[in-house]
Chain A
Amino acid sequence: MITIIYRLIVAMVISLVGWNLFTEEKITNQLNCAMVLIPLILRMLMIK
């Protein structure tokens, strides 16, 4: 149960970071968002 809740929390964070990625204007900040997304997506999918 707690695993599912935490996967949902990670999914929520991914969506918020993704939202920021598309609204950021500076390319370096977009790169930062993209970098943050990588481990979060892998964690949500339980790949790592």
Chain B
Amino acid sequence: MSTELLTFLAMIGVFLLGCFLLKLPVSISMVLSAIAGALVGGKGIPLRHLVEGMFAYVDTILVIVTAMIFMKVIQESGALDAISSVIIERFHKVPALMLCLIMVIIMFPGMITGSSTASVLSAGSIMAPVLMLMGVPTLETACILAMGGILGMIAPPTNIPAMIIGAGIDIPYSGFGLPLALMTFPLAFLFVLMFGYKYVKSMNYEEVRAKLRTESREKYGLRIYIPLVLAIVLMVINKAVPSIPDMGMPLVFLISAAVGCFTGNRFNVAKMAKESVNSVLPVMGILMGVGMFIQIMTLTGVRGLIVNFCLSMPSFARYIALAVSMPLFGAVSSFGSASVLGVPFLLSFLAKKEIIVAGALSLIASLGDMMPPTALAGIFAAQVVGMPKYTPVLKKCLLPCLIVIIWGILFIVFANQLQFLIIK
């Protein structure tokens, strides 16, 4: 057995031991597994590399934190309530369309932040009572939130796994918009209808209407939506007028959040900001841990071993390998899966249109957020609806996960035929 393989097994072993046996947070288990890997790989405790690894996702972390603050402001100011009530009031006669719009709202925070957790915890926690109010059972609601979170994370404009995979072979994050939209929205609509339509089509609207929270909309009128509109304008203004410098997503979110403090209900800003950071601290820790994990994999040659393995596989086996290994590696994290497996798989499909392939790989990698022990989307979705265990959500989502894998593989197979979707 080669040293690299031994190191890899040691890292995975320590990680699983930390998560399942010692019940440590995923981030701490990752740090321990990175240290174990360095020791087995004969590198001692390489402090510089461990700290270097933590920096891999600092920018992503800033986006997640500021986006979470923005989402909390939208929630506390009453804007999210306003949007939900408008959708139900306007579209209750067309339940299928209403469910699709609810799914877009659930996906929205993930689309903006690139984090499934942000989707599930913010818009998901607002929409869960609405869905249950309309008659969707608890388990199905959790499944809608989990799948919405995952697909929101992959949907444009922000797809962090695609950015990570692209960065591995120096593809700029440009031209991904339409392919990612086509990869995610049809599936999102399919899943929400699959889980919710049969319950919602027979809902009692009068009963639901009585429970809708419309106060913020009636009290503040259109101004309640200003922070949302401002965020969208600030995001696209640089694209429309290139002479205006790009201020970056964190600043866009903070400016919009600051405006949102004055457009709706009043709330304690410091407490809200602290709670926002608290809800994303596990994700921040996981990203730091993934950075260290991957840095040590690179340092000890484990990453090279995986790249070699992926590149030397025959064509058909590659599809099976990516369908199985990418979601499974998501047990570490979907970002880790994108980084460690996404890049070599993209290299192995280099004859195909790489933007489509990178997007499809990111879609398959995102399923890692359903994979225990991390299972960020699944676990948080179960928590939001008040389910004590996450396992039923995982079981119920197996079919949608399989559909996601098949959809992703179809995009890889027909990547060259789909290149007309790439608009830069």
Q: How distant is the Cα of A31 from the Cα of B93 in the complex, in angstroms?
A: 51
Note all chain A residues with C-beta closer than 8 A to B25: 28-29, 31-32
In contact, B281 and A17 (Cβ under 8 angstroms) = yes
Asked if residues B277 and A16 are in contact (CB atoms below 8 Å), the reply is yes
Q: Contact string, B142-175, partner A, CB cutoff 8 A, digits 1/0?
A: 0000000000000000000000000000000000
B259 within 8 A of A: no
- Distance of A9 Cα from B251 Cα, bound (Å): 8
- Label chain B's interface by main secondary structure: helix
The interface residues of chain A, by DSSP majority, are classed as: helix
Q: Are B273's CB and A10's CB within 8 A? A: no
With A35-B54, A40-B58: A16-B273 Cβ-Cβ less than 8 Å: yes
Which residue of the partner chain, among B55, B247, B278, contacts A39 with CB atoms under 8 Å?
B55
Alpha-carbon gap, A32 to B27, bound state (A): 7
C-alpha gap A13/B284 in the complex (Å): 11
Q: Which of A5-47 contact B (CB under 8 A)?
A: 5-6, 9-10, 12-13, 16-17, 19-20, 23, 28-29, 31-33, 35-36, 38-40, 42-43
Interface range, A side: 20 to 34
Partner of A20, one of B55, B250, B278: B278
Within 8 A of A (CB), among B34-67: 51, 54-55, 58, 61-62, 65-66
A2 to chain B, nearest CB (A): 7
Residue of B nearest to A48 (CB): B55
Contacts of A16 in B (CB 8 A): 65, 273-274, 276-277
Pairwise interchain contact B251-A38, C-beta atoms closer than 8 A: no
Which of A28, A42, A43 touches B24 (beta carbons < 8 Å)?
Answer: A28
Report A-chain residues with C-beta under 8 Å of the C-beta of B24.
28
Q: How many interface contacts (CB-CB < 8 Å) are there between A and B?
A: 76
Asked whether A36 lies within 8 Å of B288 as measured between CB atoms, the reply is yes
B282, CB-defined interface residue at 8 Å: yes
Output the least CB separation between A40 and chain B (Å). 7
Instruction: Indicate which residue in A19, A20, A28, A38 contacts B54 across the interface (CB closer than 8 Å).
Output: A38
Q: Is B347 an interface residue (CB 8 A)?
A: no
Residues of A within 8 A of B277 (CB): 13, 16-17, 19-20
Q: Does B248 lie at the interface of the complex (its beta carbon under 8 Å from any beta carbon of A)? A: yes
Which residues on A are within 8 Å of B, measured CB to CB? Answer: 2, 5-6, 9-10, 12-13, 16-17, 19-20, 23, 28-29, 31-33, 35-36, 38-40, 42-43, 48
If A19-B277, A32-B281, A35-B31 are given as contacts, then 4 extra A-B residue pairs at C-beta distance below 8 Å, sorted by A number, are A20-B277, A32-B25, A35-B27, A42-B55
